[in-house]
Structure 1
């Protein structure tokens, strides 16, 4: 059985293995084991300028490399948090060539570089994580409820005979039992799986798109040969719908569904092309 010190050495080794580097000209990128809730590991950039060592974020925060965009409504709150983090970690900021904002710390002692790497990487993670929190949950919930209500009402009006909401594929693979779809339309041999994509913030909108993609991907993996028609309905009126930020997520989602995404408030007729209106008509027993 391992001793307590053996456990410590194992943890130390494992954490060290999470750290890597990449040479970038006169700068070295250090890929740390510090992670963000946007599923990125933090990198810092170390260079030597005159007699000082500089550890910076490389401008990646400003470039939104960590998917750390902020909605307009949250800017005031986030700015206050960033100021507190900068004071706590002792981080300074500058505009590189007047264009990109950098966050950095400097030291004249090489033995302090590790401490600066620790401070700057944790500062980056704290800022990114603060950007990823919704500070307008009431507005998020209100906008999402309104969109869900509009889509649900439309689906119920057209396809109520064969429609269920917040349902799963319970008769397929056990892995699919816990996966909920916003709506499922079952008619004869056809099953239509429908996911909604909305969000008051860009992070929440992209999260919705990612969740829909994952759900459809799971169906493809565990469907055991069964075929389903996958449909994603997009809220293009959502505050979080920013095409330049969301397009990569929506492209993956469209590739996964093999169908054009339905922009509900722009062209709901696209949905009716995939789910014909005849589906809504009850089956009549002609022998009666």
Structure 2
């Protein structure tokens, strides 16, 4: 089984670097350079800005920029607001930021009516549309190396391959992988939670073509810090056969098997690829445009 470096933590605060005046560019330079140096990967970013003309001398513009970043490590969001007057930027510029934790995000997005959580019927339809193409992509590459050979790359490129195939069949394409989120989250189970493992795969409706994520997992005979695999089938109430890269053979696509009864510690998440027009709260993918609509 694979062993990888742990996912970096998301920052609680970020440097605003107002002295570099990145916000004065037209359009603003966002994300600005120092955000790229943070330890966690940015899975998505967005900004909006407006200018309002002043009616008294010296005539100029009052400007406001609101921006947001979502971090891969824990799917938290950093929200930034910068305000200034065009007539005297250095004396008027003010920067603020908010850290939106995953636990508080429901409150932050309480007015977001665009969130869609697919029901069982729609989830089965999504599986019918996309799973055959995802599985075909992986099986056709057994014994070979896909992309950079990392586990995540196989799943991400398999979903990418399903996009044109879905269009040819007249379906909306699946959303692309964002960080380690691959659609709607069907199951999140922690081995230390006390929730019995027996039957959880059936209850969650896990099917071939879904995407498995393991985090800080301790199995009876192996340790896995972070790993991504494509579910090839459910075998019994606790076992999954998978198609994976960088698993039992480094940098190569192989078949594998995970029995959750043998998992003593760590977290399991299983995602169902869904159409790209969905905003998936269970998968914790946030529409940052809506986040930036108000401070």
Task: Please tell me the TM-score bracket, short chain as reference.
Answer: under 0.3
The TM-score normalised by the length of structure 1 is 0.28
Q: Which is higher, the Rg of structure 1 or of structure 2?
A: 1
The one of the two structures with greater contact order (alpha-carbon pairs below 8 A, sep at least 6) is 2
**Structure with a larger share of its residues in strand:** 2
**Structure with a larger share of its residues in helix:** 1
